[in-house]
Amino acid sequence: MFVKKDLRKIPQILTDAASRAVAAPSSSDPANPEKGSSNDSDGGIIAEMRFARRAPEFLPSCTVSMLLEPQYKPALENLMQLSLYDCGLQTLAGIEQSDNDDYAAPLFPKLEQLDIGRNPKLTNDSLPDTFHTQFPQLDQLWLDNCSFGPNIPSTLLELHKLQVVRMTGNQLEGELEDGIGIRYWKELKVLALDGNRLSSVGRGIGKMKYLEKLHLRGNKLTSLPDGVPSVNNSSLTMLSLSSNQLTSLPTSLVEVTTLKELYLNGNQIEELPEGLADIMGFKKLNLAHNCIGKGRFNGVVTAGSQNSSANDAGDSIMEDVDEDNGNTTDNLLPRDFVQRFGMPEALTGNCTEDEECMVRMEGNPIAEAIRKRHLEAEKIKAKQMAMETAMETAMETEAIQ
């Protein structure tokens, strides 16, 4: 839905919101953000403010001090959604517990959604230690494309009501905090950590029973601990692990029968676990550009391989396929996988036997070998047809003469 931008300056918007809050008209409905955005003119309480892409208005301080002036406090008390996306912020100092009064009311007592993404100068040092105390109701936190890291700031882990956390494109590295899912963020439904430098995740992820979507694309994961994910992730429908360095998958993965989308493309996976085909809800399964079949071919078959070893490997795999009528099993693909999804098609590399879920397999040694053999067979057919045509032409010419 298109939302018209409020062209007023931020102080004007805050002044208007504060005056409405003080007046507290009976027609207002702060529980319904649709009736209280920052560009409403109905006189109701403003429950949503979108200050995205207003970096010039935050100069020269690059702080949120403008929002925290005392006269605007009534406006903040009624906010449920706040966007400070791409505002050139360098610090969030001031959004913290007062040193003089530990029992003071939080600045944002009703805020449920906070977006401070695309502020690349925000780091761990930009957050006060008591930042979390000012958002008792926060359930969605968007921090994409900032510079938080190498660990998740501890004050963010203390936001216990969070259901959505997005921290894609930050500076997180090493192991993801093991306490997530055990001590912290136990209510999460969406966790997005794409585009960081994480090398491993803690076992707590496998205990998050409300987690629905887990995004870990484009990190440096080489493996997942057994139990991540697991049967305890009883709500998980989407798992994205593409563009990492995974060489294998945990056996517990096949226990997550709620999965509908699984993205594993762009890794170094050589074998698939038995039982993957038992996840009946699959709608999308991407295994492209891995190393499936590499062990069978001694690692020599890749896209574009032209050497003799690759040729021999391609012949070998196709002999196995021919012998089993296309249902090859040992050292190639699990039998149950082939029975449900089929073998990779020669031209596309896709497995298409299951009408509900096409499996992408292009760029794997097994798919490349099948493609190569198919192309060779087509060349042979073309040569045979050319020879037959030439012979027929010669015979017709001879008959005329």
pTM: 0.85
Report whether 327 contacts 335 (CB < 8 A): yes
Among 23-27, 36-40, 110-114, 389-393, the range scoring the smallest mean pLDDT is 36-40
pLDDT confidence tier of residue 295, bands split at 50, 70 and 90:
low
pLDDT at 291 over 50: yes
Going by C-alpha positions, the residue among 379, 365, 374, 373 that lies closest to residue 303 is 365
CA distances from 25 to 21, 44, 108, 229 (A): 8, 6, 20, 49
Instruction: Dump pLDDT digits (tens) for 82-91.
Output: 999 999 999 9
Amino acid 28: pLDDT: 45
Mean pLDDT of all residues in 277-294:
96
Residue that the structure tokens 């020599």 belong to: 300
Lowest mean pLDDT among 194-198, 257-261, 272-276, 294-298: 294-298
> How confident is the model at residue 327, as a pLDDT?
41
Residues 6+ apart with CB under 8 A from 99: none
Residue 396 has pLDDT above 80, yes or no: no
pLDDT at residue 99 is higher than 80: no
What count of Cα atoms within 13 Å lies in the side-chain half-sphere of residue 30? Answer: 20
pLDDT in tens, 100-109: 665 679 999 9
- Cβ count within 10 A of residue 323: 10
- The per-residue pLDDT for range 131-146, each reduced to its tens digit, is 999 999 999 999 999 9
Average pLDDT over every residue of 225-248? 97
Q: Which helix (H) or strand (E) holds 239?
A: strand 238-240
Is the per-residue pLDDT at 394 higher than 50?
yes
pLDDT value of position 378: 79
Q: Which residue has the higher pLDDT, 304 or 264?
A: 264
The pairing of strands 350-351 and 359-360 is: antiparallel
Reported confidence tier of residue 25, pLDDT bands at 50, 70, 90 = low
More confident residue, 400 or 160: 160
